[in-house]
């Protein structure tokens, strides 16, 4: 029987399609209400962290260098009070097969797909993950389709996204490029249904388990080199997988006191699904347009329940600006001789400020670097911004207005971070979770929400009282 392929019909079959494409029934972990068995979902991968390490090592993924950024540290100390300015390190994830930490997620997902007998893998992403999945599929002898949100309605694509599509195709993937809008997940589901390929989702437990080795390695590297775990780890926050997986890996290594800080570029005011505003942003990931929604409403991706749940793990969430990240990209190249792409430099821009608040003997680790070149370089990004009417100036980044200007710091002393109110995000997550309840919230629901927001049951109940929700 031929299945109806209109939007509503395909979206209505989403649970059925996802079950067939992951070999995992999310219903096994549901309570019928708000709560679900998160740890049970993670354990359902069937892999220990040691087994994942072996899987990744077979395809040249992981065990990347921990680079000390000595000159950037020296510069940060010039702006810190005496005795302050932590040593800044970066995990050089650009050394992975496709050039980013996303190889860790892809290696685990693709290996599992092959183990289950799937012929190919599919992923919906406009970022580095597409290249990672394509690379791992090529290594493991599987076919690959990447569905990518790439253009506005005029057919114009942001240079960074176009570059990532080029890399996916170079690595042998078929790339389906779409305009911005709701068709991304529809097309993903439809092609997944037609192809019978494995859903190598960013948000599956296989993907998040793959990132755990990153946190585990950071903890081990620091323990071996310095005799202690790092005081702080800074992660770029977009979909939440970096924060979630890194933090879980740190915990498994015993680094329970390490502070986990999330960092995003502040793009407040730009709507990510707006055709007009799509190309007004000059960074395509690691910004609040992804970071805040995925923190407060994680279960909106291409799986019924996301394994990326960053509010469970972040101690602090800070923002920086596009200008500061672009300046940091130049700083990294000029002071350290390392040319890397924008995503890792989002966390590094924040780390430059955060290090100034820590003692000199403290260790601060930025979790990633990524490859750069072509459209991912700051020069084409700035050129593209000018073409879209964005003013490029040197000045104080506090004057940055997303979609109107990019303010490059007049000097490094102007770098700042702004804190996002975590309690506000926690209340937002609770509010967005309530519609899942079939009646009054249960004691299990409240306990789950306390875990999901890294708060306590008193906080959850107070938030529910504000919303007028019965429990």
Q: Note whether 366 and 91 are within 8 A (CB).
A: yes
pLDDT tens digits for range 336-361: 999 998 889 999 999 999 999 999 99
**pLDDT tier at 103 (50, 70, 90 boundaries)?**
very high
Report if pTM > 0.85.
yes
Q: Note whether 250 and 244 are within 8 A (CB).
A: no
Q: CA 384, CA 394: separation in Å to the nearest integer?
A: 17
Higher pLDDT among residues 72 and 24, named by residue: 72
Average pLDDT for the chain:
94
- pLDDT surpassing 60 at residue 309: yes
**pLDDT tier at 283 (50, 70, 90 boundaries)?**
confident
**pLDDT tier at 284 (50, 70, 90 boundaries)?**
confident
pLDDT of residue 1: 55
- pLDDT surpassing 70 at residue 147: yes
Q: CA 311, CA 41: separation in Å to the nearest integer?
A: 17
In three-state secondary structure terms, 87 is strand
For residue 454, is it left (φ>0), alpha (ψ between -120 and 50) or beta? left
Q: CA 127, CA 175: separation in Å to the nearest integer?
A: 12
Q: Are strands 418-419 and 405-409 parallel, antiparallel or unpaired?
A: unpaired
Beta partners for residue 148, in sequence order: 177
- Measured over the CA atoms of residue 380, residue 323, residue 286 and residue 110, the dihedral's sign is positive
Q: What is the DSSP letter of 253?
A: T
Phi, then psi, of 229 in degrees rounded to 5 = -80, 155
């Amino acid at each position: 029987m031929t299945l109806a392929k209109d939007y509503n019909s395909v979206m209505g079959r989403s649970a059925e399609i996802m079950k067939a494409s992951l070999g995992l029934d999310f219903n096994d972990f549901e309570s019928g209400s708000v709560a679900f068995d998160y740890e049970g979902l993670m354990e359902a991968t069937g892999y220990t962290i040691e087994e994942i390490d072996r899987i990744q090592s077979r395809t040249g993924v992981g065990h990347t260098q921990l680079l000390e950024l000595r000159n950037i540290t020296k510069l940060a100390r010039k702006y810190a009070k005496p005795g302050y300015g932590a040593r800044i390190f970066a995990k050089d994830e650009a050394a992975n097969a496709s050039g980013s930490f996303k190889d860790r997620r892809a290696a685990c997902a693709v290996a599992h797909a092959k183990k289950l007998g799937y012929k190919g893998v599919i992923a919906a992403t406009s970022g580095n993950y597409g290249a990672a999945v394509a690379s791992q599929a090529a290594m493991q002898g599987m076919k690959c389709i990447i569905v990518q949100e790439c253009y506005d309605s005029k057919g114009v694509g942001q240079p960074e996204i176009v570059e990532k599509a080029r890399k996916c195709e170079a690595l042998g993937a078929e790339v389906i490029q779409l305009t911005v809008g709701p068709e991304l997940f529809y097309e993903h589901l439809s092609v997944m249904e037609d192809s019978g390929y494995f859903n190598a989702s960013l948000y599956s437990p296989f993907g998040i388990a793959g990132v755990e080795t990153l946190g585990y390695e950071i903890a081990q590297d620091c323990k071996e080199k310095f005799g202690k775990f790092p005081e702080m780890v800074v992660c770029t926050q977009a979909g939440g997988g970096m924060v979630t997986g890194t933090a879980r890996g740190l915990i498994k290594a015993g680094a329970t006191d390490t502070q986990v800080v999330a960092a995003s570029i502040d793009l407040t005011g730009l709507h990510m699904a707006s055709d007009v505003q799509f190309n007004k942003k000059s960074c395509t990931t690691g910004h609040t347009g992804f970071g805040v929604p995925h923190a407060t409403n994680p279960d909106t991706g291409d799986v019924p329940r996301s394994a990326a749940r960053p509010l469970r793990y972040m101690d602090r969430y800070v923002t920086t600006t596009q200008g500061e990240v672009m300046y940091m990209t130049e700083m990294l190249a000029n002071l350290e001789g390392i040319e890397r792409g924008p995503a890792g430099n989002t966390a590094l821009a924040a780390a430059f400020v955060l290090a100034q608040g820590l003692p000199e003997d403290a260790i601060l680790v930025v979790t990633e670097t990524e490859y750069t070149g072509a459209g991912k370089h700051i020069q084409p990004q700035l050129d593209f911004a000018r073409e879209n009417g964005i003013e490029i100036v040197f000045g104080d980044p506090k004057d940055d207005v997303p979609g109107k200007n990019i303010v490059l710091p007049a000097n490094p002393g102007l770098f700042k971070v702004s804190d996002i109110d975590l309690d506000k995000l926690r209340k937002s997550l609770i509010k967005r979770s309530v519609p899942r309840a079939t009646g009054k919230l249960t004691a299990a629901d409240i306990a789950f929400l306390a875990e999901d927001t890294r708060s306590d049951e008193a906080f959850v109940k107070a938030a529910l009282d504000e919303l007028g929700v019965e429990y």
